[in-house]
Amino acid sequence: MKFAIQVNEGPYQHQAADSAYQFTKAVLEAGHEIMRVFFYHDGVNNGTSLTTPPQDDRNIVNRWSELGKKHDLDLVVCVAAAQRRGIVDEGEMKRNGKSAQNIADGFRISGLGQLVEAGIQSDRLVVFGD
């Protein structure tokens, strides 16, 4: 079965970023497919490479990157939500004249159409957030 995941909450806020990760992992362990993870609203903060939690804490951003790499996941950050919160890839950096880019490994920035497409093409869309 094809699952799509929507994450609306940033890391280290409440628990949604953790729940979404645990659920995504369980979906893959059960042999289902994750067709996309869409990060929306404050959820885009799951995709900044500048996150540096204390060493004895979980690294939520790296955890997504590693899971993404292992399972070839499509980790998509909403562009409008990302612009508001300072999440930038190389294209956005040039387009908006910014001094740096900070998109985390394995994430890409795209539009809300990707969420709509995920809702249509997946069998289940599961939402995590506040």
| Contact footprint for other proteins (CB under 8 A) | 1, 3, 8, 14-16, 19, 22-23, 25-27, 29-30, 32, 123-130
Task: Please confirm, yes or no, whether 78 is among the known catalytic residues.
Answer: yes
Task: Count CB atoms within 10 A of the CB of residue 59.
Answer: 15
Question: Is there a contact between 103 and 49 (Cβ–Cβ < 8 Å)?
Answer: yes
Q: Is 74 exposed, middle or buried (0-12, 13-18, 19+ CB in 10 A)?
A: middle
Shortest Å distance, C-beta 128 to other proteins: 7
Give whichever of 29 and 56 is closer to other proteins, judged by the CB atom.
Answer: 29
Shortest Å distance, C-beta 39 to other proteins: 15
Shortest Å distance, C-beta 8 to other proteins: 7
Q: What is the phi-psi region of residue 71: left when phi exceeds 0, alpha when psi lies from -120 to 50, beta otherwise?
A: alpha
Look up tokens 């994750």; give the residue.
Answer: 34
Give whichever of 32 and 108 is closer to other proteins, judged by the CB atom.
Answer: 32
Choosing from 7, 17, 37, 78, the catalytic residue is 78
Give whichever of 15 and 121 is closer to other proteins, judged by the CB atom.
Answer: 15
The CA–CA distances, whole Å, from 101 to 25, 49, 129 equal: 28, 9, 26
The catalytic site residues sit at 78
